[in-house]
A and B are shown apart, each in its own frame.
Chain A
Amino acid sequence: QVQLVQSGAEVRKPGSSVKVSCKSPGGTFRSDAMSWVRQAPGQGLEWVGGIIPMFRITHYAQKFQGRVTITTDEFSTMAYMELSSLRSDDTAVYYCARSSGYHLKNNWLDPWGQGTLVTVSS
């Protein structure tokens, strides 16, 4: 099964930022939306936000507004999620997941990346 390829694990100090990348082998993000979902240790799945590359529109979950920036580089088939002002409770595995259509709504998420562990610790 095709899987998105994410960048490796990161360790950051509280207050700093992290940028995670996601690559779609053999395809582009020109037409499909991309979401980022996180999973804290032992916890469930939480949608962070997403981007509609066709219109360069982003949507973020309210709790991350002002701290997260999701972008794509359509020419290199990469998507990025940057999270700033990191806190210890941001420690989680962050997944990228591609929508089955151009919009974040009304589409399923598949495939997913393998996940990137971000650890926030002093």
Chain B
Amino acid sequence: ETGVTQSPTHLIKTRGQQVTLRCSSQSGHNTVSWYQQALGQGPQFIFQYYREEENGRGNFPPRFSGLQFPNYSSELNVNALELDDSALYLCASSQDRGGSPENGYTFGSGTRLTVV
């Protein structure tokens, strides 16, 4: 059983650019959630994807968007990057959208994004 894998592990972008982060969910999981973790803070919920549709969104502007593919993998896209977007972006997969954290909600190691 493979865990959650994210790519790339590190990324440096310039303000105003666009970025795409990728996540492969754990085997058997059909739901993917994305979190932003700024330095010294806890993770903040961005959005969740279930059956290829957005299923809940946190307090993030529309320039944060995502996709989920038929194999349940997911992408997070951020347009018009700002310096404050610098953070660790975590992907978590689970069996169902309201699933038990004991059986799901496995986090990847994250993508460290630096905007300069």
A and B co-occur in one complex: no
Show the binding face of A for B, using Cβ within 8 Å: none
